[in-house]
Amino acid sequence: MYAKKFVACFLTLLNFDFVQPTVLKEDHPFDLVIFTQFWPQTVCKEWKEHNPSHTCAMPAKKDSWTIHGVWPTKLGTKTPAFCNRTWLFDPEEVRPIEKDLLAMWPNIEVESAYTLWAHEWNKHGTCAAVLEPLNSQLKYFQQGLTWLQKYFIYDILKEANIVPSDNKEYRIEDIYQAVLKNVSVRPAIECDREHGGNFIVEVRLCFSKKLELVDCDGIAFHDMEEYGSILTNCNPNSGVYYLENAVPKTVYVQLYKLLSWLQWFTL
Ligand SMILES: *[C@@H]1O[C@H](CO)[C@@H](O)[C@H](O)[C@H]1NC(C)=O
Ligand SMILES: *[C@@H]1O[C@H](CO)[C@@H](O)[C@H](O)[C@H]1NC(C)=O
Protein backbone atom coordinates (compact mmCIF):
# COMPACT_ATOMS: atom_id res chain seq x y z
CA MET A 1 0.00 0.00 0.00
CA TYR A 2 2.63 2.54 1.05
CA ALA A 3 5.01 1.33 -1.62
CA LYS A 4 2.30 1.78 -4.22
CA LYS A 5 1.55 5.26 -2.97
CA PHE A 6 5.22 6.16 -2.95
CA VAL A 7 5.73 4.94 -6.48
CA ALA A 8 2.60 6.75 -7.64
CA CYS A 9 3.78 10.00 -6.02
CA PHE A 10 7.22 9.61 -7.46
CA LEU A 11 5.96 8.98 -10.98
CA THR A 12 3.50 11.85 -10.69
CA LEU A 13 6.39 14.13 -9.76
CA LEU A 14 8.14 13.02 -12.91
CA ASN A 15 4.99 13.80 -14.87
CA PHE A 16 4.45 10.27 -16.06
CA ASP A 17 1.09 10.50 -17.69
CA PHE A 18 0.30 6.80 -17.68
CA VAL A 19 0.03 6.35 -13.92
CA GLN A 20 -3.52 5.83 -12.76
CA PRO A 21 -3.53 8.13 -9.74
CA THR A 22 -6.18 6.24 -7.85
CA VAL A 23 -4.57 6.90 -4.47
CA LEU A 24 -4.15 10.62 -5.16
CA LYS A 25 -7.50 11.35 -6.71
CA GLU A 26 -9.41 12.73 -3.75
CA ASP A 27 -7.45 15.92 -3.34
CA HIS A 28 -5.68 18.35 -5.68
CA PRO A 29 -4.87 21.38 -3.56
CA PHE A 30 -3.41 24.51 -5.11
CA ASP A 31 -2.60 28.04 -3.98
CA LEU A 32 -2.74 30.18 -7.06
CA VAL A 33 -3.22 30.18 -10.80
CA ILE A 34 -0.26 31.01 -13.02
CA PHE A 35 -0.97 32.67 -16.34
CA THR A 36 1.99 32.23 -18.70
CA GLN A 37 2.57 34.11 -21.91
CA PHE A 38 5.44 33.24 -24.15
CA TRP A 39 7.36 34.96 -26.87
CA PRO A 40 6.92 32.94 -30.08
CA GLN A 41 10.26 33.88 -31.62
CA THR A 42 12.20 32.40 -28.72
CA VAL A 43 9.90 29.37 -28.50
CA CYS A 44 10.58 28.77 -32.19
CA LYS A 45 14.31 29.21 -31.72
CA GLU A 46 14.31 26.54 -28.99
CA TRP A 47 12.16 24.24 -31.13
CA LYS A 48 14.54 24.52 -34.07
CA GLU A 49 17.54 23.98 -31.84
CA HIS A 50 16.09 20.65 -30.73
CA ASN A 51 16.02 19.57 -34.32
CA PRO A 52 16.92 21.71 -37.35
CA SER A 53 14.18 20.02 -39.39
CA HIS A 54 11.51 21.44 -37.08
CA THR A 55 9.31 24.17 -38.45
CA CYS A 56 7.27 26.65 -36.45
CA ALA A 57 3.69 27.78 -36.85
CA MET A 58 4.07 31.46 -36.02
CA PRO A 59 1.12 33.66 -35.10
CA ALA A 60 -0.10 35.92 -37.88
CA LYS A 61 0.64 39.04 -35.84
CA LYS A 62 4.36 39.47 -35.53
CA ASP A 63 4.21 41.44 -32.28
CA SER A 64 2.09 38.88 -30.51
CA TRP A 65 3.02 37.28 -27.25
CA THR A 66 0.84 34.19 -27.05
CA ILE A 67 -0.56 32.01 -24.32
CA HIS A 68 1.29 29.01 -23.00
CA GLY A 69 -1.14 28.11 -20.28
CA VAL A 70 -3.27 28.73 -17.21
CA TRP A 71 -1.90 26.59 -14.42
CA PRO A 72 -3.37 26.01 -10.96
CA THR A 73 -0.30 25.61 -8.81
CA LYS A 74 0.65 24.65 -5.29
CA LEU A 75 3.54 26.84 -4.15
CA GLY A 76 6.91 25.20 -4.53
CA THR A 77 5.58 22.46 -6.81
CA LYS A 78 4.45 21.87 -10.36
CA THR A 79 1.27 20.19 -9.20
CA PRO A 80 -1.59 19.49 -9.36
CA ALA A 81 -1.88 17.93 -12.81
CA PHE A 82 -4.26 15.63 -14.65
CA CYS A 83 -7.02 15.97 -12.06
CA ASN A 84 -9.70 14.17 -14.08
CA ARG A 85 -8.55 11.64 -16.61
CA THR A 86 -11.97 11.02 -18.04
CA TRP A 87 -12.69 14.68 -18.86
CA LEU A 88 -10.67 15.04 -22.04
CA PHE A 89 -10.28 18.03 -24.30
CA ASP A 90 -13.03 18.28 -26.89
CA PRO A 91 -12.50 20.72 -29.78
CA GLU A 92 -16.26 21.15 -30.08
CA GLU A 93 -16.35 22.78 -26.65
CA VAL A 94 -14.13 25.65 -27.76
CA ARG A 95 -15.50 26.01 -31.28
CA PRO A 96 -17.17 29.37 -30.48
CA ILE A 97 -13.79 30.92 -29.65
CA GLU A 98 -11.59 28.87 -31.94
CA LYS A 99 -10.61 31.78 -34.17
CA ASP A 100 -9.34 33.79 -31.23
CA LEU A 101 -7.60 30.77 -29.79
CA LEU A 102 -5.77 30.15 -33.05
CA ALA A 103 -4.52 33.75 -33.01
CA MET A 104 -3.71 34.06 -29.30
CA TRP A 105 -3.10 30.52 -28.12
CA PRO A 106 -1.45 28.87 -31.13
CA ASN A 107 0.83 25.88 -31.02
CA ILE A 108 4.16 27.24 -32.22
CA GLU A 109 5.78 23.83 -32.34
CA VAL A 110 3.49 21.87 -34.63
CA GLU A 111 0.78 22.62 -37.10
CA SER A 112 -2.12 21.34 -35.02
CA ALA A 113 -3.18 23.69 -32.25
CA TYR A 114 -5.33 20.95 -30.78
CA THR A 115 -2.36 19.11 -29.34
CA LEU A 116 -1.40 22.12 -27.21
CA TRP A 117 -4.99 22.81 -26.16
CA ALA A 118 -5.57 19.16 -25.34
CA HIS A 119 -2.39 19.05 -23.27
CA GLU A 120 -3.21 22.26 -21.40
CA TRP A 121 -6.80 21.25 -20.68
CA ASN A 122 -6.10 17.63 -19.73
CA LYS A 123 -3.15 18.51 -17.52
CA HIS A 124 -4.13 21.88 -16.03
CA GLY A 125 -7.70 22.71 -16.99
CA THR A 126 -9.12 19.65 -15.26
CA CYS A 127 -7.52 20.92 -12.03
CA ALA A 128 -8.58 24.55 -12.54
CA ALA A 129 -12.17 23.43 -13.04
CA VAL A 130 -12.87 23.37 -9.29
CA LEU A 131 -13.05 27.17 -9.57
CA GLU A 132 -16.44 28.28 -10.78
CA PRO A 133 -15.13 30.79 -13.38
CA LEU A 134 -12.99 28.04 -14.93
CA ASN A 135 -15.34 25.07 -14.67
CA SER A 136 -15.78 24.32 -18.34
CA GLN A 137 -13.44 24.05 -21.31
CA LEU A 138 -14.97 27.14 -22.87
CA LYS A 139 -14.58 29.20 -19.68
CA TYR A 140 -11.03 27.98 -19.07
CA PHE A 141 -9.78 28.90 -22.53
CA GLN A 142 -11.78 32.13 -22.58
CA GLN A 143 -10.08 33.20 -19.34
CA GLY A 144 -6.69 32.80 -21.02
CA LEU A 145 -7.82 35.03 -23.89
CA THR A 146 -9.20 37.64 -21.51
CA TRP A 147 -5.96 37.77 -19.53
CA LEU A 148 -3.82 37.99 -22.67
CA GLN A 149 -5.76 40.98 -23.89
CA LYS A 150 -5.72 42.65 -20.50
CA TYR A 151 -2.04 42.03 -19.70
CA PHE A 152 -0.47 41.96 -23.14
CA ILE A 153 3.26 41.79 -22.48
CA TYR A 154 4.21 43.28 -25.84
CA ASP A 155 2.44 46.54 -25.00
CA ILE A 156 3.60 46.55 -21.40
CA LEU A 157 7.25 46.24 -22.45
CA LYS A 158 6.83 48.69 -25.30
CA GLU A 159 5.70 51.37 -22.87
CA ALA A 160 9.12 51.01 -21.28
CA ASN A 161 10.80 51.17 -24.70
CA ILE A 162 11.59 47.48 -24.58
CA VAL A 163 10.95 46.13 -28.06
CA PRO A 164 12.17 43.06 -29.96
CA SER A 165 15.63 43.38 -31.46
CA ASP A 166 18.19 40.77 -32.42
CA ASN A 167 21.10 42.93 -31.37
CA LYS A 168 20.00 44.91 -28.38
CA GLU A 169 20.71 43.69 -24.86
CA TYR A 170 18.30 44.59 -22.11
CA ARG A 171 18.78 44.48 -18.37
CA ILE A 172 16.58 41.96 -16.60
CA GLU A 173 15.90 44.62 -13.95
CA ASP A 174 14.38 46.91 -16.58
CA ILE A 175 12.18 44.17 -18.03
CA TYR A 176 11.07 43.16 -14.57
CA GLN A 177 10.32 46.70 -13.46
CA ALA A 178 8.31 47.37 -16.61
CA VAL A 179 5.97 44.49 -15.86
CA LEU A 180 5.87 45.14 -12.11
CA LYS A 181 5.04 48.80 -12.67
CA ASN A 182 2.15 47.89 -14.95
CA VAL A 183 0.50 45.11 -12.96
CA SER A 184 1.62 46.11 -9.42
CA VAL A 185 2.39 42.51 -8.44
CA ARG A 186 5.59 40.54 -8.77
CA PRO A 187 5.77 38.53 -11.99
CA ALA A 188 8.19 35.71 -12.79
CA ILE A 189 10.30 35.92 -15.91
CA GLU A 190 11.91 33.00 -17.65
CA CYS A 191 14.83 33.01 -20.03
CA ASP A 192 16.02 30.35 -22.42
CA ARG A 193 19.62 29.93 -21.30
CA GLU A 194 20.67 27.01 -23.46
CA HIS A 195 24.14 27.25 -24.96
CA GLY A 196 25.01 30.15 -22.67
CA GLY A 197 22.24 32.31 -24.09
CA ASN A 198 19.92 34.64 -22.21
CA PHE A 199 16.73 35.00 -24.24
CA ILE A 200 13.47 36.11 -22.66
CA VAL A 201 10.88 33.43 -23.36
CA GLU A 202 8.09 33.57 -20.76
CA VAL A 203 6.39 36.02 -18.45
CA ARG A 204 4.18 34.61 -15.71
CA LEU A 205 1.52 36.49 -13.82
CA CYS A 206 -0.10 34.97 -10.78
CA PHE A 207 -3.72 35.09 -9.66
CA SER A 208 -5.47 34.11 -6.48
CA LYS A 209 -8.30 31.59 -6.53
CA LYS A 210 -10.60 34.61 -6.85
CA LEU A 211 -8.65 35.37 -10.04
CA GLU A 212 -7.18 38.57 -8.64
CA LEU A 213 -3.55 39.44 -9.35
CA VAL A 214 -1.09 38.37 -6.62
CA ASP A 215 2.71 38.15 -6.31
CA CYS A 216 4.32 35.09 -7.86
CA ASP A 217 6.64 34.61 -4.86
CA GLY A 218 7.05 30.95 -3.97
CA ILE A 219 6.22 29.37 -7.29
CA ALA A 220 8.52 26.60 -8.46
CA PHE A 221 10.62 27.65 -11.37
CA HIS A 222 13.00 26.00 -13.75
CA ASP A 223 16.52 26.79 -12.50
CA MET A 224 15.05 29.59 -10.46
CA GLU A 225 17.42 31.88 -8.71
CA GLU A 226 16.36 34.98 -6.93
CA TYR A 227 18.37 38.01 -7.85
CA GLY A 228 17.55 40.60 -5.26
CA SER A 229 13.80 40.77 -5.43
CA ILE A 230 13.50 39.54 -9.00
CA LEU A 231 11.86 36.17 -9.66
CA THR A 232 13.70 34.92 -12.68
CA ASN A 233 16.16 32.42 -14.06
CA CYS A 234 17.60 35.00 -16.46
CA ASN A 235 21.29 35.66 -16.00
CA PRO A 236 21.56 39.09 -14.35
CA ASN A 237 25.21 39.40 -15.28
CA SER A 238 24.64 39.52 -19.00
CA GLY A 239 22.19 41.24 -21.29
CA VAL A 240 18.83 39.70 -22.02
CA TYR A 241 17.85 39.32 -25.66
CA TYR A 242 14.26 39.88 -26.77
CA LEU A 243 14.52 38.33 -30.20
CA GLU A 244 13.00 39.92 -33.24
CA ASN A 245 13.62 36.79 -35.31
CA ALA A 246 13.62 33.15 -34.32
CA VAL A 247 16.93 32.60 -36.05
CA PRO A 248 18.79 35.79 -35.28
CA LYS A 249 22.24 36.78 -36.29
CA THR A 250 23.34 36.56 -32.68
CA VAL A 251 22.85 32.80 -32.66
CA TYR A 252 25.17 32.50 -35.62
CA VAL A 253 27.64 34.73 -33.86
CA GLN A 254 27.56 32.43 -30.85
CA LEU A 255 27.85 29.36 -33.06
CA TYR A 256 30.75 30.95 -34.87
CA LYS A 257 32.46 31.71 -31.56
CA LEU A 258 31.92 28.14 -30.43
CA LEU A 259 33.29 26.69 -33.66
CA SER A 260 36.29 28.98 -33.52
CA TRP A 261 36.92 27.94 -29.98
CA LEU A 262 36.60 24.24 -30.83
CA GLN A 263 38.99 24.69 -33.71
CA TRP A 264 41.49 26.41 -31.49
CA PHE A 265 41.03 23.72 -28.87
CA THR A 266 41.55 20.78 -31.22
CA LEU A 267 44.46 22.21 -33.19
C1 LIG B 1 -14.59 14.02 -14.25
O2 LIG B 1 -15.20 14.61 -15.36
C3 LIG B 1 -16.44 14.01 -15.72
C4 LIG B 1 -16.88 14.64 -17.03
O5 LIG B 1 -17.03 16.03 -16.89
C6 LIG B 1 -17.43 14.20 -14.59
O7 LIG B 1 -18.67 13.61 -14.93
C8 LIG B 1 -16.87 13.58 -13.31
O9 LIG B 1 -17.73 13.87 -12.24
C10 LIG B 1 -15.48 14.14 -13.03
N11 LIG B 1 -14.90 13.41 -11.93
C12 LIG B 1 -14.41 14.03 -10.86
C13 LIG B 1 -13.81 13.13 -9.82
O14 LIG B 1 -14.47 15.22 -10.71
C1 LIG C 1 -0.37 48.73 -18.60
O2 LIG C 1 -0.01 48.59 -19.96
C3 LIG C 1 -1.09 48.73 -20.86
C4 LIG C 1 -0.57 48.41 -22.24
O5 LIG C 1 0.45 49.26 -22.62
C6 LIG C 1 -1.65 50.14 -20.74
O7 LIG C 1 -2.76 50.28 -21.61
C8 LIG C 1 -2.07 50.37 -19.31
O9 LIG C 1 -2.51 51.71 -19.17
C10 LIG C 1 -0.92 50.11 -18.37
N11 LIG C 1 -1.39 50.23 -16.99
C12 LIG C 1 -0.65 50.78 -16.03
C13 LIG C 1 -1.27 50.83 -14.69
O14 LIG C 1 0.47 51.21 -16.23
- Residue 1: inside a domain: no
Average pLDDT in the 63-78 region?
95
CB of 163 closer than 8 Å to CB of 200: no
pTM check: above 0.75: yes
Number of domains in the chain: 1
Name the more confident of 187 and 24.
187
pLDDT at 261: 58
- Residue 3: inside a domain: no
Distance 194 CA to ligand 1 centre (A): 40
- Residue 65: inside a domain: yes
Average pLDDT, the chain: 86
- Residue 13: inside a domain: no
Of 69-83, 120-134, 163-177, 236-250, which gets the smallest average pLDDT? 236-250
- Residue 10: inside a domain: no
Query: Which atom number of ligand 1 is nearest to the Cα of residue 129?
Result: 14
Q: Which of 152, 155, 203 to mutate to test the pocket of ligand 2 (most atoms within 8 A of CB)?
A: 155
pLDDT at 216: 95
Distance 180 CA to ligand 2 centre (A): 11
- In sequence order, what are the residues at sequence separation of 6 or more whose Cβ sits closer than 8 angstroms to the Cβ of residue 238? 169, 198
- In sequence order, what are the residues at sequence separation of 6 or more whose Cβ sits closer than 8 angstroms to the Cβ of residue 21? 8, 12, 82, 85
- Residue 20: inside a domain: no
Q: How many helices (H) and strands (E) does the chain have?
A: 9, 9
Give the CATH number for residue 128.
3.90.730.10
pLDDT at 14: 41
Name the more confident of 96 and 24.
96
Using one digit for the tens of pLDDT, what is the confidence trace for 245-267?
A: 987 655 555 565 566 556 555 55
Catalytic positions, written as ranges: 68, 120, 124
Using one digit for the tens of pLDDT, what is the confidence trace for 195-245?
A: 889 999 999 999 999 999 999 999 987 666 656 678 999 998 899 999 999
Distance 206 CA to ligand 1 centre (A): 26
- pLDDT-derived band at 8 (thresholds 50, 70, 90) equals very low
Boundaries of domain holding 166: 27-266
- Residue 2: inside a domain: no
Average pLDDT in the 55-84 region?
94
- Residue 7: inside a domain: no
Which residue's CA is the closest to the ligand 2 atom numbered 11? 182
Using one digit for the tens of pLDDT, what is the confidence trace for 49-62?
A: 988 889 999 998 88
b/e sequence 38-66, b meaning 16+ C-beta within 10 Å: bbbbbbbbbbbbeeeeeebbbbeeeebbb
CA distances from 78 to 173, 207, 210 (A): 26, 16, 20
Given phi > 0 = left and psi -120 to 50 = alpha, else beta, which region is 215?
beta
